[in-house]
C-alpha cells in the first residue's frame, strides 16, 4: 500500500463525514438557525445593556413578551395553515378597546370585559376566516385591508371615548393583579402564553385538527383529496389567531388600564417577522409553536434593546425590515435547497481494499468456475412475476415467492402453472422462511419482519430494534430487512442490510460501502427484537446450519460468509468462513446433501474493486454524474454456489447465456429440484439437480416429517 493510499484510507475511514448528512436529515436542524440567533441576540443585548437580566427589568419585558407571544402563536398557526394574518394588530387594539369600554365606561365586571375582548377577536377572526377560507381571497391583501378597516375603526373609537375612559372611577383587584401582579414570580401574561403555547403545541402535533392544519399548509390540494375540509380548517386558523390576539389585547388593557392610539401599532409586522425569524415557513406546513416563540423573543429583545440603547425613531422599522428580509430569504433558500445539499453530502464513501480472489471464468479450473447449467432451467410464472427475490416451498409442494408489488404469490403443485396472490403485505417481500406451525415469515424490505399464517392473516412481528445511543440516524428502524431463518427454538434470526439507506437505494449503499449491516434476532416468546451483530457491509442471506447450533450469514459487499454460533463455546461470536469470493453473496439455504446453497447476486469487477480504493472518486461520481452513469457492482451475471459445513466450495452453477438467470438472489432445493429466484428477474427457475435426494424437502429438514 502506497503512502498516498494509506492517507486516503485514514482520511475516509476515520473522519466521520457521514454524520453531516445524517444531521441534515434531522428535522431539528430547522430549529438550529433560529436557536443560534436567539442565543446570539440574548448574548449581545444582555452584555451591552446594563441590568438586562435583572429581575425587575425582566419582569417588565416578559409581561410585554407574554402579550406578544400570544399574538405570535396565533400568527404561527395561521402561517402553518398556509395563510397569513396581518390584522392581528387591529384585533389586538379592538379587543383592548372592547375590554376597556366594558370595564371603564359601562363599569361592568372584569370577566364581562374579558368576554367582550374575546368576542371582538373571535368575530374579527371569523370575518378574516370567511373571506380567506370560504371565499378563497388572497390572505395577505385581504387581511391587510381588514387591518386598515379595524385600525380606522379603532382610531375613531379611541378618539371618541378617550376622555370618558380617563374620567372613569372603575377599578378592580383582579384587573390590577392581571396587569401588575405575579404568580410564582411570573406575570399572568407569561403564564397565559406558556399555557396556550403548550396547548397549541400538543394540538398541532398530537390532535386531528392540528394535523389538518399542517396538512392544509403543506399541500392544499392533497389535503382536499384526502378528505380534509380545507376551507373550514383555514377558517378556524383565522378564528384562532383572532382569539390569541384578543387575549393579548385584554392583557394590555389590564396592564395600561386604557387604550391609546399607539396600542397594537406595528404589531402585525413584528409578529410576522417573529414567526418568520423563528423559522415558520411562508406558504405553510413547516414550523412549530416553539419556533414562533423563539422568533418572538428575538424580535422583542432586539426592538426593546434598541429603544433602551437610545436609538432614535425609525430604528425599529429598520431592524425589523432587515430581519424580515434576511429571514424570509433564508427560509425560501433553505426550503428550496435543503434536499439538494442533503443529496450532495449524504453519500460519504469509505476506503476498502478487497482481497485477491480466485477466478470464476469458465475453464479457469477453480471451484468458482461458472458453467451454463442454470440456462437449462424450466421457468415458472414467466412474465407474470416481477422480482421474486426469494422462493420457498411448503409441505404440500406449493411454491411461494414475493413480488415487487408487495405481494406473496403462490404457485400450485404439481405443475406450477396456476397461481394466486397468497397475501398482500406491501413493501417488497424479500427473504422467506416457514416456521414450525407453517406460518410464512418474511423480511419485507422497507417495512420489517412479517408473518403470514396459513389462513393468510398478515401480522407484523417486528419493525424496530433497540436504538443505539451513539447513532445519529435512527437505527432503531429496520430499513432494509433482507433475509431470515428460524432456529429450532423458534427464534427468528434475520438481517438488516443497512442503517443509512432505504431498501431501493442499495446501489448507494454499495458505493458508500460503509459497514452498517446487522444481524438481529426476534424472539416470538416476548416479541422482542435484539441486535446481535453490527458493522458488516450489507448483511444479506441467513441460513441455519443443519445441526441448528450455528448459522451462516452473507456479507454482500465484502464478498464474505460468516458463521454465527448459537451454542457451544463460541456462542454469540462470529467467524468468517468464506472470504474473498469472486461474487456478491445473497441468500443462503440448505442443500439435501448436508451442504449449503448460496446465491450470487452479481460478480466482482476489477474496476469497481479499484474504485473502492478511491473513495474520493466515488464521492465525486455521486455528486457530478447522473445516476445511470455511476459505477456500481455488476449485477448482470451471478450464479449459485454450493459450499460445505467448513466453508469449502463444492461447485458453482451459472447461466452464461444470460437469458434465464443472469443474476440470482435466492434458490431453494425441493424434491430433487433447485428453484431459483432473482430480484430483477421475471420468473422462477426450476433446475433438476443431478443425484439429489428426490424426497428431501426444506420444511422436513427444519421441522421433521409430516405431522
- Which residues are near other proteins by CB under 8 A? 82-84, 131, 135-142, 144-146, 148-149, 151-153, 155-156, 159, 220-221, 269, 272, 276, 281-283, 311-322, 324-325, 328-329, 332-333, 336
Nearest to 649 by CA among 696, 584, 579, 547: 579
Cell of 239: 378564528
* CB nearer to other proteins: pick between 160 and 607: 160
Q: List 270's β-bridge partners, or say none.
A: none
Q: How far is the CB of 234 from other proteins (least distance, A)?
A: 11
Pairing of strands 428-434, 407-411: unpaired
Contact 678, 385 (CB under 8 A): no
* CB nearer to other proteins: pick between 146 and 595: 146
* CB nearer to other proteins: pick between 148 and 361: 148
* CB nearer to other proteins: pick between 266 and 701: 266
Long-range contacts for 393-399 (Cβ within 8 Å, ≥24 apart)?
393/668, 393/670, 393/675, 393/697, 393/698, 393/699, 394/434, 394/438, 394/699, 395/438, 395/697, 395/699, 395/700, 395/706, 397/670, 397/671, 397/697, 399/675, 399/684
Q: How far is the CB of 303 from other proteins (least distance, A)?
A: 11
Q: How far is the CB of 305 from other proteins (least distance, A)?
A: 15
Nearest to 620 by CA among 332, 364, 349, 241: 349
Cell of 325: 428580509
* CB nearer to other proteins: pick between 326 and 571: 326
* CB nearer to other proteins: pick between 30 and 475: 30
* CB nearer to other proteins: pick between 284 and 638: 284
* CB nearer to other proteins: pick between 148 and 226: 148
* CB nearer to other proteins: pick between 208 and 336: 336
Q: How far is the CB of 346 from other proteins (least distance, A)?
A: 24
Q: How far is the CB of 161 from other proteins (least distance, A)?
A: 13
Q: Which residue has the cell 402585525?
A: 268
CA distances from 342 to 26, 332, 339, 512, 623 (A): 11, 16, 5, 15, 11
* CB nearer to other proteins: pick between 202 and 322: 322
Q: How far is the CB of 64 from other proteins (least distance, A)?
A: 20
Q: How far is the CB of 242 from other proteins (least distance, A)?
A: 17
CA atoms within 13 A on the CB side of 541: 32
Helices vs strands, H then E, count in the chain: 19, 26
Contact 423, 439 (CB under 8 A): no
Q: How far is the CB of 391 from other proteins (least distance, A)?
A: 47
Pairing of strands 649-653, 666-670: unpaired
Q: How far apart are CA 193 and CA 250, in angstroms?
A: 13
Q: How far is the CB of 283 from other proteins (least distance, A)?
A: 3
Contact 445, 431 (CB under 8 A): no
* CB nearer to other proteins: pick between 326 and 610: 326
Q: How many CB atoms lie within 10 A of CB 647?
A: 16
Q: How far is the CB of 312 from other proteins (least distance, A)?
A: 5
Q: How far is the CB of 660 from other proteins (least distance, A)?
A: 47
**E strand residue ranges, 300-418:** 378-380, 391-393, 399-402, 407-411
* CB nearer to other proteins: pick between 123 and 186: 123
Cell of 256: 395600561
Nearest to 582 by CA among 387, 429, 355, 332: 355
Q: How far apart are CA 481 and CA 497, in angstroms?
A: 6
Nearest to 631 by CA among 478, 525, 508: 508
* CB nearer to other proteins: pick between 278 and 481: 278
Q: How far is the CB of 235 from other proteins (least distance, A)?
A: 15
Q: How far is the CB of 623 from other proteins (least distance, A)?
A: 24
Cβ burial 586-597 (10 Å sphere, 16+ → b, else e): bbbbbbbeebbb
Q: How far is the CB of 230 from other proteins (least distance, A)?
A: 11
Q: How many CB atoms lie within 10 A of CB 675?
A: 26
* CB nearer to other proteins: pick between 148 and 376: 148
Chain-centre distance for alpha carbon 180: 46
Amino acid at each position: 500500500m502506497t503512502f498516498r493510499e494509506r492517507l486516503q484510507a485514514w482520511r475516509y475511514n476515520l473522519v466521520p463525514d457521514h454524520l453531516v448528512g445524517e444531521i441534515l436529515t434531522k428535522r431539528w436542524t430547522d430549529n438550529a438557525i433560529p436557536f443560534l440567533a436567539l442565543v446570539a441576540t440574548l448574548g449581545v443585548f444582555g452584555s451591552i445593556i446594563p441590568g438586562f437580566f435583572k429581575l425587575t427589568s425582566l419582569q417588565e419585558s416578559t409581561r410585554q413578551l407574554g402579550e406578544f407571544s400570544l399574538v405570535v402563536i396565533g400568527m404561527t398557526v395561521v402561517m402553518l395553515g398556509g395563510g397569513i394574518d396581518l390584522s392581528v394588530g387591529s384585533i389586538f387594539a379592538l379587543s383592548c378597546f372592547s375590554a376597556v369600554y366594558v370595564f371603564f365606561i359601562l363599569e361592568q365586571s372584569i370577566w364581562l370585559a374579558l368576554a367582550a375582548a374575546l368576542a371582538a377577536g373571535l368575530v374579527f377572526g371569523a370575518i378574516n376566516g370567511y373571506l380567506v377560507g370560504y371565499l378563497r381571497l388572497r390572505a395577505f391583501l385581504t387581511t391587510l385591508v381588514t387591518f386598515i378597516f379595524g385600525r380606522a375603526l379603532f382610531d375613531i373609537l379611541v378618539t371618541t371615548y378617550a376622555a370618558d375612559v380617563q374620567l372613569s372611577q372603575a377599578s378592580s383587584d383582579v384587573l390590577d393583579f392581571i396587569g401588575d401582579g405575579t404568580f410564582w414570580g411570573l406575570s399572568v401574561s407569561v403564564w397565559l402564553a406558556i399555557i396556550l403555547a403548550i396547548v397549541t403545541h400538543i394540538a398541532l402535533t398530537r390532535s386531528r385538527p392540528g394535523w389538518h392544519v399542517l396538512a392544509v399548509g403543506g399541500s392544499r390540494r392533497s389535503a382536499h383529496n384526502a378528505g380534509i375540509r380545507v376551507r373550514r380548517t383555514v377558517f378556524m386558523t383565522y378564528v384562532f389567531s383572532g382569539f390569541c390576539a384578543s387575549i393579548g389585547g385584554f392583557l394590555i388593557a389590564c396592564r395600561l388600564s386604557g387604550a391609546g392610539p399607539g396600542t397594537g401599532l406595528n404589531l402585525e409586522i413584528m409578529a410576522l417577522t417573529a414567526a418568520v425569524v423563528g423559522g415558520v415557513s411562508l406558504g405553510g406546513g413547516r414550523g412549530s409553536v416553539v419556533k414562533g416563540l423563539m422568533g418572538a423573543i428575538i424580535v422583542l429583545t432586539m426592538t426593546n434593546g434598541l429603544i433602551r440603547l437610545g436609538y432614535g425613531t425609525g430604528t425599529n422599522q429598520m431592524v425589523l425590515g432587515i430581519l424580515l428580509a434576511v429571514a424570509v430569504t433564508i427560509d425560501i433558500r433553505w426550503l428550496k435547497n435543503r434536499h439538494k445539499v442533503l443529496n450532495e453530502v449524504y453519500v460519504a464513501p469509505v476506503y476498502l481494499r478487497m482481497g485477491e480472489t480466485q477466478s470464476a471464468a469458465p475453464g479457469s479450473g477453480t471451484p468458482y468456475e461458472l458453467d451454463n447449467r442454470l440456462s437449462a432451467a424450466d421457468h415458472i410464472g414467466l412474465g407474470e412475476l416481477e422480482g421474486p427475490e426469494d422462493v420457498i416451498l411448503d409441505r404440500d409442494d406449493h411454491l411461494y415467492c414475493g413480488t415487487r408489488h408487495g405481494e406473496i404469490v403462490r404457485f400450485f403443485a404439481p405443475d406450477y402453472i396456476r397461481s394466486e396472490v397468497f397475501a398482500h403485505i406491501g413493501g417488497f417481500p424479500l427473504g422467506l422462511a416457514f416456521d414450525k406451525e407453517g406460518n410464512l415469515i418474511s423480511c419485507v424490505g422497507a417495512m420489517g419482519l412479517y408473518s403470514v399464517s396459513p389462513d393468510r392473516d398478515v401480522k407484523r412481528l417486528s419493525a424496530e430494534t433497540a436504538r443505539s445511543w451513539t447513532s445519529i440516524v435512527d437505527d432503531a428502524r429496520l430499513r432494509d430487512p433482507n433475509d431470515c431463518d428460524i432456529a429450532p427454538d423458534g427464534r427468528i434470526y434475520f438481517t438488516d442490510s443497512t442503517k443509512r439507506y432505504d431498501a431501493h437505494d442499495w446501489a448507494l449503499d454499495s458505493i458508500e460501502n460503509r459497514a452498517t449491516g446487522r444481524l438481529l434476532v426476534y424472539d416470538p416468546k416476548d416479541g422482542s427484537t435484539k441486535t446481535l451483530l453490527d458493522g458488516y457491509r450489507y448483511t444479506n442471506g441467513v441460513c441455519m446450519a443443519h445441526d441448528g447450533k450455528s448459522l451462516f450469514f452473507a456479507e454482500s459487499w465484502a464478498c464474505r460468509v460468516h458463521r454465527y454460533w448459537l451454542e457451544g463455546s463460541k456462542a454469540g461470536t462470529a467467524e468468517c468462513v468464506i472470504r474473498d469470493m469472486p461474487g456478491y453473496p445473497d441468500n443462503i439455504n440448505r442443500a439435501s446433501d448436508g451442504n449449503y446453497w448460496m446465491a450470487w447476486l452479481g460478480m466482482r469487477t476489477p474496476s469497481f474493486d479499484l474504485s473502492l480504493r478511491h473513495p474520493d472518486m466515488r464521492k465525486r461520481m455521486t455528486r457530478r454524474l447522473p445516476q445511470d452513469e455511476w459505477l456500481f457492482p455488476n449485477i448482470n451475471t451471478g450464479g449459485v454456489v454450493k459450499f460445505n459445513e467448513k466453508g469449502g466450495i463444492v461447485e458453482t452453477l451459472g447461466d452464461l447465456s444470460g437469458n434465464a438467470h443472469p443474476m440470482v438472489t435466492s434458490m431453494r432445493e425441493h424434491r430433487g429440484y433447485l428453484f431459483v429466484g432473482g430480484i430483477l428477474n421475471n420468473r422462477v427457475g426450476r433446475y433438476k439437480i443431478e443425484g439429489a435426494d428426490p424426497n428431501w424437502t426444506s420444511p422436513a429438514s427444519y421441522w421433521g416429517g409430516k405431522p
